[in-house]
Amino acid sequence: MGGGTFDHTAYRAYASTTRGKSTDEIYRAREINADLNPLGVKLRESRDSVDNPRSTPLIVGIDVTGSMGIIADTLAREGLGTLFRGVLERKPISDPHVMFMAIGDAYTDRAPLQVSQFEADNRIVQQLASIYLEHGGGSNDFESYNLPWYFAAMHTKHDSMEKRGKRGYLFTVGDEEAPKALTKEQLKKICGDDAQADMSSLDLLHMAQRSYDVFHIVIEQGSYASRAIDRVMSSWTPLLGQRVIRLSDYTKLAETIVSAIEVAEGRDASDSAAGWGSGSSAVLAAVKGIDRIGATRVLGGPR
């Protein structure tokens, strides 16, 4: 999917309907929506179209456990418009196709992964609003941030890679430590796939990196990170190095994603952050250490 273009006027009209509503009033699903269930999904595709002739996939996976549901709330109210406006007006990537994923805990939750289609227009709003905020998570110090890596590697295809040799972008967002392995039983239950063995997070990351440049954003205001930020960062840095981003203000998530892409594509971090006005200091602190992709991008393989 991925046809059409994003209508900011229509989005502002939608966002105005969320004013005065609680998170539960916006996200009314009490079980996983069939359209967002990864079980049995063969492929989610980002393909070129007349409206988007040079499509670039952008996956954003958000932790919806416990206090982290506030991220989905903020995206619905205002962040989604900021994200689309940023990528369309600032053009860090061409013709963005956005997919949202909701992340839970593969060990304890009923819906540890939810996946939208790739969309270039306002259909993404309805899909975001259909997410089931399970508010789950376990007591194991991590959520299953590696499920989006697996799904992206095994169940997505995109013309950006197949036609132009350019990887897409994949961001996961949360406040807990890096995840452990996914078991073959979990992959069968969640995606319906018959894996030969359990998969380590490092292997899953390398699989995703064949088609996506992968980042993780740590929300410092999350209940876990706020009391154990050093432990969280030390768990992520060996996996992602400069691609793990600390964000001190979750309301600047959309701006941080756009600026992270800009910096990775070669723009100066200070110039990128300055364009956001108020709150630019939080964005700059988050993205200033990101290494550039540029000529170091390796076709078809991890960096």
pLDDT digits (tens, 9 = 90+) for 127-164: 888 889 887 776 788 999 999 999 999 999 999 999 99
Asked whether residue 298 carries a pLDDT value surpassing 70, the answer given is no
Domains annotated for the chain, with CATH where assigned, are: 8-296 (3.40.50.410)
Asked whether residue 2 carries a pLDDT value surpassing 70, the answer given is no
Asked whether residue 44 carries a pLDDT value surpassing 80, the answer given is yes
Asked whether residue 297 carries a pLDDT value surpassing 60, the answer given is no
Asked whether residue 57 carries a pLDDT value surpassing 90, the answer given is yes
Give the per-residue pLDDT at 1: 56
- Residue 2, judged by CB atoms within 10 A of its CB (0-12, 13-18, 19+), counts as buried
Read off φ and ψ for residue 152, nearest 5 degrees. -60, -40
pTM value is 0.92
Asked whether residue 34 carries a pLDDT value surpassing 60, the answer given is yes
Note the pLDDT tens digit of each residue in 167-179.
Answer: 999 999 999 999 9
Give the per-residue pLDDT at 138: 67
Mean pLDDT of 76-88: 82
Mean pLDDT of 185-192: 98
Asked whether residue 296 carries a pLDDT value surpassing 50, the answer given is no
Beta bridge partners of 200: none
Give the per-residue pLDDT at 299: 38
Nearest to 136 by CA among 173, 114, 108, 176: 108
pLDDT band for position 295 (50/70/90)? Answer: very low
Mean pLDDT of 210-235: 95
**Residues in CB range of 253: below 8 A, 6 or more apart:** 71, 74, 75, 79, 173, 217, 219, 247
Nearest to 167 by CA among 68, 28, 296: 296
Mean pLDDT of 82-110: 91
Average of per-residue pLDDT values in the chain: 90
